[in-house]
Amino acid sequence: MDIVQQIKKHAAGFPDRTAFQYAGQRLTYSELDLYSDRLAAYLTLKTPDTRPEIVVYGHKHPYMLVSFIACIKAGLAYCPVDISMPTERVRDILSATAAPFVLSTETLPDLNAGQDTWKMTGEVLTLDTLQQIAEDDRLTADPSRMLSPEDICYIIFTSGSTGKPKGVQIPYGCLCRFAAWGLTLGTTPAEKEGKRFLNQAPFSFDLSVMDLYLSLTSGGTLCVLEKSIQAQYKALFERLKEYQPQVWVSTPSFAEVCLADPGFSGELLPEMELFLFCGERLTNRTAEKLLQRFPKARVMNTYGPTESTVAVTEVEVTPELLEAEDPLPVGTARPGTTLLIVSEEGTPLPDGTPGEIVITGDTLSSGYFHAEELTRKAFRPCTLTDASGNAKTVTGYHTGDEGYLKEGMLFYNGRIDLQIKLHGYRIELSDIENNLLKLGGVEQACVVPSLREGRVNQLHAFVVVKERTEENDRKEAARLKTELGALLPEYMIPRKIHFVSQIPMTPNGKADRRALKEMLG
């Protein structure tokens, strides 16, 4: 399946159907196809001999979608950046990609402010300009510029342990194969045709790839929830009622926020058919509540990192499964993916034995953007042996997740490193620590998560500062949080800052995270 061909087919078949619905604005399939053609033609004219990366900045605006599809049509990789990213991170991404164009539906922060050596070189195409290009009927796209399956389609930047974000590159073929499989989740592709899909995640988070491309390939309508509305029950529920989504795609955390209100049920959303979850642990309690409140809907758990194109496993959560398994499994591998469980030495482990989850198959990222060392560490050769004993060497992505297999069913135990998930967001604890160390007076920093129901619910930073007076702790904590806010997205700011005179050490000289967790009680 080719995503662009699918969009063209829908634009021809039902030109006036809404492809994208957002806070009172709509974009039809014919508009999406036409506008993205013209923007692709414009980008092609501007980059006749090169294939640079393009940054798309904004928050869920219909023109972000136009920009994504235009990049695909112009043979260019796009890099989505959400407005919730602080200036420093946007700057990091722009310097890493050296993007000659930033397609921006919102006002960009002043990226040159306070910079002596770095200057932004890319040209910003504002929303006005994007709209003018979209209206320009002299522009026609050159179909020969389209991405081929091996070309990078998008780069999503995630938290990196060094304190700088790392870019996961996904080839177009991986995206198309993911979408083809995604259409089979829970209901058949035919049953998904023309449905209303809910979008919760920002476009810079790979979960959004699931709703965006499943909706577009099935001729559906993407019903977008902007971030501000997600925190206000009344407005959120009114919007949900207006949208009447039929396919729900979110993190379990977001569903839990909604479930906290007894009004979130099949009475509010009688057309709901399917819940698709990914990105963090789906608890038995949440799945059970959903099945009770939405008796006509199916609940699917899926698992996967950004590096494997959103998700590679699936399982339907039925009352029988809830009865049999607690915690719930994350599913069996999609066709085209093979999962391995390996020991610390990289040896494959038998069924039932926990080890690191390694993913192989035809939706794996081609590696991190301009980061060979990181790529080599995470994407390593591994041997697969088929039923007749034939062995072949393939690339395996070492997820850093611990789990085990039981007759093909994958169970997820947690992380083996310092990456965590908080409300669905992927965070490297050392990313926060390295940024804390950049702040004046901070000598040592260690961030530990506190858990509720097996999931991270808060981050705590233990900090050693140069000069400490206890009366000043509160003021100092507020200062650190504010300064950290300029470097990191809001969801990465530790809720609590504890000042300590020293960080306890393990016998081999590492920060003793267990001792710090115990200090939290």
Stretch that binds ligand AMP, among 21-29, 39-47, 303-311, 492-500 (CB under 6 A): 303-311
89 vs 487: CA distance, rounded Å: 7
Minimal distance, residue 7 CB to ligand AMP, in Å: 25
For ligand AMP, which is the closer residue by CB, 2 or 206? 206
Q: Which residues pair with 333 in a beta bridge?
A: 313
For ligand AMP, which is the closer residue by CB, 230 or 283? 283
For the residues of 226-277, what is the DSSP string, one character each? -HHHHT-HHHHHHHHHHH--SEEEE-HHHHHHHHTSTT-STTT-TT--EEEE
Minimal distance, residue 20 CB to ligand AMP, in Å: 23
Q: CA distances (Å), 512 to each of 282, 286, 500, 509, 517, in order?
A: 29, 33, 13, 8, 9
367 binds ligand AMP, rule: CB under 6 A: no
Query: Segment 151-180, which members bind ligand AMP (CB under 6 A)?
Result: 158
State the helix-helix crossing angle for 252-259 and 284-293, rounded to 10 degrees.
Answer: 50
Query: Segment 198-237, which members bind ligand AMP (CB under 6 A)?
Result: 206
Q: Which of 68, 154, 157, 412 binds ligand AMP (CB under 6 A)?
A: 412
For ligand AMP, which is the closer residue by CB, 219 or 279? 279
For ligand AMP, which is the closer residue by CB, 62 or 182? 182
Minimal distance, residue 468 CB to ligand AMP, in Å: 36
What φ, ψ does residue 278 adopt, rounded to 5°?
A: -160, 165
For ligand AMP, which is the closer residue by CB, 29 or 205? 205
Question: What is the torsional sign of CA 145, 151, 156, 160?
Answer: negative
For ligand AMP, which is the closer residue by CB, 122 or 279? 279
Minimal distance, residue 431 CB to ligand AMP, in Å: 13
Total binding residues toward ligand AMP, as defined by CB under 6 A: 18
Minimal distance, residue 303 CB to ligand AMP, in Å: 4
Q: Which of 256, 401, 428, 431 binds ligand AMP (CB under 6 A)?
A: 401
15 vs 8: CA distance, rounded Å: 9
305 binds ligand AMP, rule: CB under 6 A: yes
Question: What is the torsional sign of CA 124, 129, 131, 136?
Answer: negative
Minimal distance, residue 427 CB to ligand AMP, in Å: 9
CA end-to-end span of the chain: 52
For ligand AMP, which is the closer residue by CB, 265 or 309? 309
Minimal distance, residue 274 CB to ligand AMP, in Å: 16
Q: Which residues pair with 460 in a beta bridge?
A: 448, 496
Q: Which of 200, 215, 221, 306 binds ligand AMP (CB under 6 A)?
A: 306
Query: Segment 319-338, which members bind ligand AMP (CB under 6 A)?
Result: 330
476 binds ligand AMP, rule: CB under 6 A: no
Q: Which of 67, 169, 204, 301 binds ligand AMP (CB under 6 A)?
A: 301
Minimal distance, residue 301 CB to ligand AMP, in Å: 5
Q: If DSSP states are collapsed to H, E and C, what string results for 177-208? A: HHHHHHCCCCCCHHHHCCCEEEECCCCCCCHH
Minimal distance, residue 237 CB to ligand AMP, in Å: 26
Beta strands in 346-473 (DSSP E): 355-361, 367-368, 379-385, 391-406, 409-415, 419-422, 425-428, 442-452, 455-465
- Taking CB under 6 A as the rule, which mask of x and - marks residues 423-452 in contact with ligand AMP? ---x--------------------------
**E strand or H helix that includes residue 292:** helix 284-293
Q: Please check whether residue 431 is in contact with residue 159, taking contact to mean a CB–CB distance below 8 angstroms.
A: yes
Q: CA distances (Å), 261 to each of 233, 237, 287, 305, in order?
A: 8, 10, 15, 30
Q: Which of 399, 405, 446, 459 binds ligand AMP (CB under 6 A)?
A: 399
81 vs 4: CA distance, rounded Å: 22
Minimal distance, residue 360 CB to ligand AMP, in Å: 15
Q: Which of 10, 60, 192, 421 binds ligand AMP (CB under 6 A)?
A: 421
For residue 15, whether the previous peptide bond is cis, meaning omega lies within 30 degrees of 0, is: no
Stretch that binds ligand AMP, among 82-90, 119-127, 300-308, 366-374 (CB under 6 A): 300-308
Minimal distance, residue 419 CB to ligand AMP, in Å: 7
Residue for token pair 């590696």 = 367
396 vs 377: CA distance, rounded Å: 11
Query: Segment 242-281, which members bind ligand AMP (CB under 6 A)?
Result: 278-281
Q: If DSSP states are collapsed to H, E and C, what string results for 421-432? A: EECCEEEEHHHH
Minimal distance, residue 242 CB to ligand AMP, in Å: 29
For ligand AMP, which is the closer residue by CB, 197 or 303? 303
Stretch that binds ligand AMP, among 298-306, 432-440, 460-468, 492-500 (CB under 6 A): 298-306
127 vs 103: CA distance, rounded Å: 8
For the residues of 4-17, what is the DSSP string, one character each? HHHHHHHHHH-TTS
For ligand AMP, which is the closer residue by CB, 67 or 365? 365
303 binds ligand AMP, rule: CB under 6 A: yes
Minimal distance, residue 429 CB to ligand AMP, in Å: 13
**Site of interaction with ligand AMP (CB under 6 A):** 158, 206, 278-282, 301, 303, 305-306, 330, 399, 401, 412, 415, 421, 426
